Each structure stands twice: as C-alpha cells, then as structure tokens.
Amino acid sequence: MNMYVRWFAVLALIVGLVTALFLMAPEPQKKLGQGDTAIPVTLPDLQGNMHSLVKGDVMLLHFWATWCTPCRAEIPSMIKVYDKFKDSGLNILAVSTDQNGDDIRDFIDMYHINFQVVRDVDMVVANRYAITGYPETYIIDRNGVIQKHIIGPAPWEDANMQAWLKQLLQQKPKRTEQSTAAVRQPGA
C-alpha cells in the first residue's frame, strides 16, 4: 500500500508541475489581419541604425530570408512597385531573420534593393506578428491599420494590386483628437 501512495504522490507532483508550466506559458500570438492595428516595430539595419514603421506612410512590412526561394523571386517586382509608388508615400520595411549579416548584405547588393532592410535575428518581431513562413507581408495604411496580410509572394506588378495600392495611397490619414491636440496653441 505504501508503494501506491508514493506513486500517487509522484503522479500528483508531475500533474501539478505540468499544470503550473501550462498556466505560466505565454499566450500564443494572435495572427493579425485586416482591420487590426499594426504592432510597433523598431529594428536595426546592418549598420546598427534603428528603423521603425513610418507613421503617415503606407507601409509594406515584409518578412523574408536570403535562403528563401520565393523571396528571391518576389524581390524584383517589389523593387519595381516601390520605385513606382515611393514618391506617393509607399514605404517598405523589409525584415530579415537571417543570422549572418554578410548574407543579407550580399542579397541587397545582388538585387540592388533600394528600400529599408532591417534585421530580426532573434525573431522577436516575427514572433509578435506570428510569422509562419517566408515571405509574408502586411500592408499597413497611413493610420497604422493592417489592410492586407499576404502569405507567400505577392503579385506586386499585377494591375489590380497596383490599382488597389494607388487607391490606398490616395487616402489621407485620419485626424484624431490626439493628433490635433499637438497643433493647438496654449490657451486657445
């Protein structure tokens, strides 16, 4: 009988530990989608300078890696859409999760990337956005709201995609009480 009590105590201890670990585990990240507010991003480039999402611009928050074949195929069309719309307020923050900075630098040079590339070596931002593969892109409007989430390579040169982006770029940021408070004069 004493042996059964010991086994029961061990089993109860194991169940208690597993339950405690389960309760202490962080909640899984919810996959963000259309209508959700973008999570703030601040990451370093290859020189260590910090970059964030640009408020007031339409942002492509693009997650990729140098070893990703679909990423390699997508980059030339992404560069073309950036060149076409950058003067209208389109901005790209390309988040690489590669460990080796030289691989990223070689990739940038090979494809002549002219938009901002940052590093997320520890995948902190990729995990916050619940990225499951590469490439993945969030299109964020001028108000910081996600308008589209694209898993896989996007058809950047497609006429419908470009018409949609042009329409998004034509929208003005919404003024909020908080944004107008900054321009009010004291005592007004």
Q: Half-sphere exposure of residue 53, counting CA atoms within 13 Å on the CB side?
A: 23
Q: How far apart are CA 132 and CA 28, in angstroms?
A: 13
In percent, how much of the chain has pLDDT > 90?
A: 69
Which of 9-18, 77-86, 104-113, 131-140 comes out lowest in average pLDDT? 9-18
* Residue 24 vs residue 105, higher pLDDT: 105
CB atoms within 10 A of CB 107: 21
> For position 31, what pLDDT does the model report?
74
> For position 185, what pLDDT does the model report?
36
Contact criterion met (CB below 8 Å) for 104 and 119: yes
Q: How far apart are CA 81 and CA 142, in angstroms?
A: 17
* Residue 36 vs residue 19, higher pLDDT: 36
Write out pLDDT tens, residues 61-74.
Answer: 999 999 999 999 99
Q: Which CATH superfamily hosts domain 42-165?
A: Glutaredoxin (3.40.30.10)
In percent, how much of the chain has pLDDT > 70?
A: 78
Q: Is the pLDDT score of 165 beyond 80?
A: yes
| pTM above threshold 0.75 | yes
Q: How far apart are CA 165 and CA 119, in angstroms?
A: 26
Which of 34-38, 40-44, 46-50, 103-107 comes out lowest in average pLDDT? 34-38
The per-residue pLDDT of the chain, averaged, comes to 84
Burial of 95 (0-12, 13-18, 19+ CB in 10 A): buried
Domain ranges of the chain: 42-165
CB atoms within 10 A of CB 4: 8
Q: Is the peptide bond before 135 cis (omega within 30 degrees of 0)?
A: yes
Burial of 179 (0-12, 13-18, 19+ CB in 10 A): exposed
For the residues 148-173, what does the mean pLDDT come to? Answer: 94
